[in-house]
Amino acid sequence: MIKARVALLGALALFIVSGVAAPMASASGPFWHVGGSKFESGTRQIKLQSKGSLVLKSTVLEIECKNSISEGATIEGSTTTQGQGKGRVSYSSCSVLKPTACTVAQPIVTNPLKAHLAESSTQTNYVELFEPGQGSVFVVLNLSGCTLKEVGVTGSIAAELIPTKVEGQEGLVVFPSTPISKVKLEGVEKTPKLETVGIAATFTGAYGARLATFPEKFGVFET
């Protein structure tokens, strides 16, 4: 009886330890690295600047913007969750390609956004998932000259990060012409999708990303 009780207590202790260890094991990357080491606490301001034109497109609406920058954007250090960030993005020098009679009020400024590093089957394996900080609305477009007036862009979108597993002074955040349709965030699969007036939309273009403490180096790593 004593031996059985000891064995039971041993099994219970192992179960408890396994239960405690499980959340720690789930803290898998990708993570931000800054200045040669894993970025575990605090924030760093990051600046995004568009590289060429950016295009939002659906069957009913198409808008092209020549310039875009981040506003108050940061990356956040963490040891228990995949790398995170937040901020806004503004767009200027924009024209409405469809419907041709439309114009859009500028600058276009998104609602506060949150960003998460995630895994995906892209060339570099790591992406950044962008979502509204609250609710589902990314940005509201104020149009004039056509039947469309106030158009909300809703949902989430992922961008490929280039390069990864190396630190540099500048990286690329690329929204490909074929949208990234699946990502894995904290072990959970998500399906990014943008919509305008309830219709699927795409967003294409690229940004250069630098820390405000340039030329300090940063990057995305597995651990």
Quick one: pLDDT at residue 10?
40
Q: Which two tokens stand for residue 44?
A: 């760093």
pLDDT per residue as tens digits for the range 82-103: 999 999 999 999 999 999 999 9
Measured distance CA(210)–CA(73) in Å, rounded: 11
Count other C-beta atoms under 10 Å from residue 179's C-beta.
18
Query: Is position 18 within any domain?
Result: no
* Residues 46 and 73: beta-carbon distance below 8 Å: yes
Range of the structural domain that residue 174 is part of: 28-221
Please state the rounded mean pLDDT for residues 42-55. 97
Alpha helices in the chain (DSSP H): 2-25
In a domain, 5, yes or no: no
The answer to whether the CB of 194 falls within 8 A of the CB of 154 is yes
Q: Indicate whether 79 belongs to any domain.
A: yes
Q: Residue 150 falls within a domain, yes or no?
A: yes
State residue 21 phi and psi, 5-degree precision.
Answer: -75, -25
Is 47 within a domain? yes
Determine, yes or no, domain membership for 7.
no
Q: Are 208 and 49 in contact, with CB atoms under 8 Å apart?
A: yes
Domain tally, the chain:
1
15 within domain boundaries? no
- With respect to residue 14, please indicate whether it lies within any of the assigned structural domains: no
121 in Cβ contact with 182 (< 8 Å): yes
Structure confidence by residue, pLDDT tens digits, 151-192: 999 999 999 999 999 999 999 999 999 999 999 999 999 999
